[in-house]
Structure 1
Amino acid sequence: MKDGPLSAQVQIAHTRYLVFLVFFFGYVLSMFVINTWLTEQILNDGIRRAVSSDVKEVVSRRISRAYMTAIATEASMDGALVLGHSLSLHSACIKSQSCSMVALVADLAPTSQARLTQVGFRVVDFSSQTQPFPKDRRADVLKLFAFNITDTEQVVFLSSHVFCLRDADVIFTAHAAYSLAATLDHDLMVFTPNGTLSAQLLQRYQARSADRKDRGMVNDADVVLRQAPINRSV
C-alpha cells in the first residue's frame, strides 16, 4: 500500500517528462523549419538583388550618350578629375543618369583608375592595345579607340585638360557648325562610335606612325573623320 502512491507519483513525473520532451523537440524542430525557411528566403532575396544589380549594370553600360575622355599618363590625372567633377556638378543628364562618363586609359596605376571611378567615370583600360605605340602617341591612339566604344550611340569627347563651367548637354544635339570640325587634334569631338571607321583610322595611323616627325594621323584624319556619322540635328 505504501508503494502505491509513490508508484503513481513516478508515473506522473514520467508522463510530465515525456510531455516536456515532446514539446521541447517539437519546439526545436519548428525553430529549425522556420530558420531553414527564413534562410532560403534571405538567399533568394539576395539572388534577386544580385540579378537586379547585374541588370542595372548592363543597362548603365547601354546608356545612349556619353561624355568621354582619354588619359595616357599620370600627369593627366588631375585634369581628368577636374573634368569629371565639373561634369557631375553641371550636367543634367549625368545627374539624371541618362548619360554616362567614360575614361579611356592606358598605363595608369590601379589607384588612379579607382580615383576616376570615384568621381563617376566608367574606366576602359586599353593598356595592352597601346603598348606597340610610342608613349607620346598613346593619347592620340586612345582617341581612335573612342570610335570603337559602340555600346554608346552618341559621344562628346573632351580632352582631359578641359572642364565645364555650365551644363554642356546641348552639345549632344548641337548644329553641325558646333561639332568643331571633328579632327583628332581638337579638344572637342562629337560623333557616333563606328567600329569600321575606328579600324580604318587605326590602320592609317599604324601605317604612318613610323616617322616620328610625321603627324600623319592628324593630317589625314580630316578626310576620313568627315565621313563619320556626326550628329547633325539642330
Structure 2
Amino acid sequence: MARVEYQHSLDALEASLQEQGSLVLRALRGAVSALESQDTELCDEVIAFDDEIDTRYHRIEKLVEEILAQQSPVATDLRLVLAVLHDSIHLERIGDQCVTVAKLTKLASELEPRHDLAEGLREMGERAEEMVRIALDSFAQRDVGRARGLVELDELIDRTNRRVADKVLALAHEPGSQEWGMRMVVVARCIERVGDNAVDIGEQTAFLVTGEFHEFSDASH
C-alpha cells in the first residue's frame, strides 16, 4: 500500500471515530432530554438509534483489521490504530448506557417524579455530554492537557451521583416516591459511567501522544 493511500486509511479511521462520537453525543442528548421531559417516544428513538452506533463500531473494527493486515503499522501509527479501537469501544459503551437511561425513563414515566432529584440528573447528563465532547476534541487535537482536565469534571459528576443516591435513601418513608427514586439511582449510575468512559478516552489521547499508558487517577481511591 502506498504511503498516500495508507495515510488516507488512517485519516478515514479517525474520521469514522469522530462520526461515531457525534452519534453518541446525539444519543446522550436525547436520553437526557427524554429524562427531563419524561418523553417516552424520545426514549424509543434513543433505544432504536443504538443500532446505528453499533454499526459504526463494527465498521471501525473492520477498518482496523484491514489496516493491520495490509500495512503492519508501527510506532505512532500503531498507537493511533489501537487508540481509535479503544475509544470506539468506550463510545459503544456510552451508547449502551444511553439505552439503559432511556429504558428506565420509560419504566418510570408512570410514576411521580421528584423534581429536586430530576434537576441533579439533568445536571449530571449535561456535564457528561460536555465531557464526551471534550474527550473527542482533545483526541482530535492531541491535547493531553485538556484530556487530563476530564478528571476534575468527572469528580463533579461523582459528587452529584452521591448526592442523588443520598436523596433517594431519604425517600425510604415516602412509598410513592421510592420506586421512582430507585430507578433514578440506576440512571445516575449510568450517567456516572458515561463520565468514566470519557476519562478513558482522554487516557488514550495521552497514550497516543506520549507512547505510554497511565490512568489519570487511581481507581482504588
Normalising by the residue count of structure 1, what TM-score does the alignment of the two structures yield? Answer: 0.28
Tell me which structure has the larger Cα radius of gyration. 1
| Higher RCO, Cα 8 Å, sep 6+ | 2
Q: Which has a greater percent of strand?
A: 1
Q: Which has a greater percent of helix?
A: 2
